[in-house]
Chains A and B, each alone.
Chain A
Amino acid sequence: RKEVEQDPGPFNVPEGATVAFNCTYSNSASQSFFWYRQDCRKEPKLLMSVYSSGNEDGRFTAQLNRASQYISLLIRDSKLSDSATYLCVVNRSYNDYKLSFGAGTTVTVRA
């Protein structure tokens, strides 16, 4: 079983819509969780960390469910510029240099 699994999508949504997707992780001892964003043929960039109580950053909301071992990302009021691949990233412990990346969920926002 892969350490981090994501629905590859694509999620095709109209501008202004809400889109949400999950990521599951296999190691119950994992400590740190993140969403990175990767545009087509570009490098990944940190979008946001995911905290235990859930957190928001503008139109983006991240949630963590430790019991079911998944994290989620919700994008409200989608913009064309949100079109990208969203990578779920998990760290086995807070002090570990090795991050585990999911293969990504592709979101396409259409006009």
Chain B
Amino acid sequence: ETGVTQSPTHLIKTRGQQVTLRCSSQSGHNTVSWYQQALGQGPQFIFQYYREEENGRGNFPPRFSGLQFPNYSSELNVNALELDDSALYLCASSSRVSSYNEQFFGPGTRLTVL
């Protein structure tokens, strides 16, 4: 069974640029969630995708957007990068079949905005 993978591992961008982060979900999982973890804090929910549609969203502006593909992999796009976007971005996959919707996390992508 392949776990959740994310790419790239690290990324450095400058203010105003755009970035795309990628996630492959665990085998058999059809739901992907994205979280932002700022330094020294707990992860915060950005949004969730199910059947290629955004299924719910946290308190993040529209310049944070995403996609889910038919194979359940996902992308997180951030436009007009700001310094505060520097964080570890975590992807988690889960299965709707599970009654408690346990989420399995990837290793994350560390984004630095200069």
Does B associate with A?
no
Using a CB–CB cutoff of 8 Å, the interface residues on chain A facing chain B are none
Using a CB–CB cutoff of 8 Å, the interface residues on chain B facing chain A are none
